[in-house]
Amino acid sequence: VSDSAAKAAVAIARKISNAIKQHQLIGKTFRLGLATGATPVPLYKELIKLYQQGDVNFKNVHTYNLDEYDEISFDNPNSYHGFMRENLFDHINIPLEQTHFPSGDDPAAYDREIASVGGLDLLILGIGSNGHIAFNEPGSEKDSPSRLIELDASTIADNKQYFPDGDMPTRAITMGLKTILDTKTLVLMAWGDSKASIIAESLSCTPSADLPASFLQDHPNTLYFLDHGSASKLS
Ligand code: F6R
């Protein structure tokens, strides 16, 4: 639990940059899963800062985003492709062909692609107010594949602020829980009072599809990074 999201972001960015460097030393690709939304923005700022300072180099990194809206133009700044370019990819030295997203044409191909390279090394997660991770909405089983999903009414309510023209897609392509839970290290971040209830519940309830983030309880190497607000309902 950190004093602020910015302080936690410094620690997480350092952890990621150290892991990238260790992989570089032994000539291995580092496979990093990435979230969009408000939560990871402080982390992306820190990673850009480390890159600008010469502390980290992304040439041996491949990234795998968690999700993308269905039927959205990648030029739309609210697409997750657009979000990632604006908040990270355009500011670091990652070749765009090393950045991967699930595709609506064949969503489960994403699982096969990731499994064929030995899974992800580290994956950044936020949490939805309904307990979703990526867009695995309540009802998603722990072995769920990457797939097209109807967004929950609560997710649409939370995210429609980003679509002032009222054109928010109601479906998305999400990485499934199986690929997420097969990742070596998971880092879940949550900031602010509005996430306090779902964080406390996700850690105390019996793991079930009703609250997909609760499946992280069974993962052998998951780290939660919180601030005082999001940690305020932990007993
Ligand atoms: C986004 C994603 C979602 C968000 C979650 C929280 O790629 O996977 O699960 O992490 O909806 O969103 P924010 O961070 O905007 O509160």
User: Domain residues of the chain, as ranges?
Assistant: 5-119+128-181+206-226
Instruction: Judge if the beta carbon of residue 187 lies within 6 A of ligand 1.
Output: no
* The pLDDT of residue 235: 82
Global pTM value: 0.97
* The pLDDT of residue 158: 95
What CATH architecture does domain 5-119+128-181+206-226 belong to?
3-Layer(aba) Sandwich (3.40)
Q: Give percent of the chain with pLDDT exceeding 70.
A: 100
- Nearest residue to 43 via CA among 114, 102, 123: 123
Distances (CA, A) of 115 to 37, 86, 180: 26, 28, 11
Tell me the pLDDT tens digit for each residue of 53-65. Answer: 999 999 999 999 9
Tell me the pLDDT tens digit for each residue of 136-150. Answer: 999 999 999 999 999
Angle CA 31–47–128, to nearest 5: 75
**Rounded to an integer, what distance in angstroms lies between the CA atom of residue 191 and that of residue 87?**
18
Average pLDDT for residues 43-68, to the nearest whole number? 98
Instruction: Judge if the beta carbon of residue 39 lies within 6 A of ligand 1.
Output: yes
Residues designated as active site: 67, 130, 132, 137
- Give the strand order in the sheet containing 185-190: 99-100, 61-65, 30-34, 122-125, 185-190, 222-226
Instruction: Copy the structure tokens of residue 129.
Output: 């107010």
CA of 27 to the centre of ligand 1 (A): 32
Angle CA 213–168–67, to nearest 5: 40
CA of 158 to the centre of ligand 1 (A): 10
> Is residue 118 pLDDT above 90, yes or no?
yes
CA of 97 to the centre of ligand 1 (A): 24
